[in-house]
Amino acid sequence: AIPVRSSRLPLLSDAMPAPAHLFPLIRNCEISRICSTVCYCHHKHLCCLSHFAHSHFRYASQKRFVALHRPKENFNYFIHTRDYASTPQRFYLTPPQVNSILKANEYSFKVPEFDGKNVSSVLGFDSNQLPANAPIEDRRSAATCLQTRGMLLGVFDGHAGCACAQAVSERLFYYIAVSLLPHETLLEIENAVESGRALLPILQWHKHPNDYFSKEASKLYFNSLRTYWQELIDLNSGETTDVKEALINAFKRLDNDISLEAQVGDPNSFLNYLVLRVAFSGATACVAHVDGVDLHIANTGDSRAMLGVQEEDGSWSAVNLSYDHNAQNEHEVERVKMEHPKSEEKSLVKQDRLLGLLMPFRAFGDVKFKWSIELQKRVVESGPDQLNDNEYTKFIPPNYHTPPYLTAEPEVIHHKLRPQDKFLVLATDGLWETMHRQDVARIVGEYLTGVHHQQPIAVGGYKVTLGQMHGLLTERRARISSVFEDQNAATHLIRHAVGNNEFGTVDHERLSKMLSLPEELARMYRDDITIIVVQFNSHVIGACQNEEL
């Protein structure tokens, strides 16, 4: 969303493009809710990073507490003091308190070896989330397809609020499942709706109690989904549905429905505002469909999928199964340029952002980068007052000439699982900003196997005395006995992502400080982190491989 540093800024006129410096960076610099009118910069990728990097940032709350720190620098100087006191005090969380925070959102599911249709190639999965935003803008989903084979798992990273990520996490798997259904099953479901009979269950959800559904919007969402399967019935070609094609169609159709629902509106004022919040916020998505040895990854945006592979010598390697859709991806930049006139080439990507504002080049929602200016004005002016009075929704991106500039179409990668492919990690960019994929593969692999491969201690150029090195070795030996205390692989990974020190080991003091940060400061150090770790059944995969031979 658009960070605004002062509530005294004048409202923009409806059609006047705002000066770019007033709206420096959508995504990773978001407002907490789409309906907010003011906010503050709160991410390390800000245009004002240089200011923070060279000066202390002061957070004052009603003259009660001041927290002084230097972002991205030595975290040992994080302290809390009263604004009239000069003596620093340090506050530490105990290990049980740290564990309570880390495990609050963890979830595990073990797949039955035989689910009634086929032997599953998935042993189970662990998932977890650690918020930085308040409320958290990430979402996660996992479900088993009941009318077709396979399992769906996904992570969703919201920006400009959590509304779009919430909607996509609830709805996308239904669109994928419907896209995969054979014509006969679609007819059976439609006939059941027509006659008022009970519907065949399409998905079995595997959800943490905190992962909720929007009950108020369920009827609206169902009607849009029904329209989609009715069209699939009418377009029946009699051919078997290709998984890659089904994934692409589902992503695109859901994004189209999100846009259409916002344009049409709803007589119910609550729903009308909800569909507008969903459309004007945005979300990236990284989804896995696992069916036997066939693994498909559909990715839109900058969350990632990574395969953990165990080599013959027992070591671990990482295989990327997705590509970030941002300015660091040259192919993605070229794709965007090819879709717009040559005259816009210099304005399409500025400061590594789409139109100088948006970090991901693909996302759900974000209609401000998809609708025409005329449509945006019409919807905003006819919408509720909360929308019409909001600076962000009235803001027109600079150099906005030939929309749409953004798409939700995923890039789909197919991978045939092998016995050495032990696990899959799906995670939002909050993880990948702090850890390299090779470290992720090693940490998860060692956790799942219980085998800790000792690596030479790297000091990264630091001058370490013999006594300090002895302390590091002693600390590592003590840690080995407790390193697998986590019962959830995603929790274990988050512990490393947040608590690793410069030597690559979990430092309890650092972990305690990072988890003690007040909400207003946490987002400056890291993003929301959402992780799903899927463990594969190597015996089943090997057997399937032999059958194909």
Residue 483 banded pLDDT, cuts 50, 70, 90:
very low
pLDDT tens per residue across span 10-24:
333 333 333 333 333
Q: Tell me how far apart the alpha carbons of residues 506 and 498 are, in angstroms, rounded to a whole number.
A: 8
pLDDT at 76: 40
Cα 35 to Cα 20: distance, rounded to the nearest angstrom = 21
Q: Give per-residue pLDDT as tens, 445-467.
A: 999 998 655 555 555 556 667 77
CA atoms of 9 and 36, how far apart (whole Å): 14
Least confident range of 14-28, 223-237, 435-449: 14-28
The average pLDDT across 72-76 equals: 38
The mean-pLDDT minimum among 11-20, 179-188, 237-246, 261-270 falls in 11-20
| C-alpha dist (Å) from residue 87 to 79, 82, 90, 423, 524 | 10, 9, 10, 49, 25
Question: What b/e string do you get for 502-526 counting C-beta neighbours within 10 Å, with b at 16 or more?
Answer: eeebbbbebbbbbbbbeeebbbbbb
Q: How large is the average pLDDT for residues 182-197? A: 94
Rounded mean pLDDT of 112-126? 79
Indicate the class that CATH gives domain 95-455+462-548: alpha beta
Place of tokens 């994080």: 78
Beta strands at 316-320 and 304-310: parallel, antiparallel or unpaired: antiparallel
Please tell me whether residue 126 adopts helix, strand or coil conformation: strand
Cα separation of 60 and 58, whole Å?
6
Sorted by sequence, the CB contacts under 8 Å of residue 74 that are 6+ apart come out as: none
Higher pLDDT: 187 or 36? It is 187
Residue 10 is classified by DSSP as P
DSSP 314: S
Residue 324 reports pLDDT greater than 80: yes
The tens digit of pLDDT for each residue in 76-112 reads: 433 333 344 444 445 688 999 999 999 999 999 999 8
Query: Which residue ranges make up each domain of the chain?
Result: 95-455+462-548
| Amino acid at site 440 | V
pLDDT bin (cut points 50, 70, 90) of residue 157 is: very high
Contact 169, 154 (CB under 8 A): yes
Residue whose entry in the numeric block shows the structure tokens 């999100």: 258
Predicted local confidence at residue 498, as pLDDT? 95
What would the pLDDT profile of 279-302 be if each residue is shown by its tens digit? 999 999 999 999 999 999 999 999
| Least confident stretch, 28-42, 98-112, 241-255, 372-386 | 28-42
Instruction: Provide DSSP, 62-96.
Output: TTTEEEEE-TTS-GGG-EEEETT--S-B-----HH
Contact indicator for 171, 298 with CB cutoff of 8 Å? no
DSSP-derived letter for residue 425 is E
- Judge whether residue 207 has pLDDT over 90: yes
Max avg pLDDT among 6-15, 262-271, 500-509 = 262-271
Q: What is the pLDDT of residues 371-405, one digit of tens each?
A: 999 999 999 888 887 776 677 777 889 999 999 99
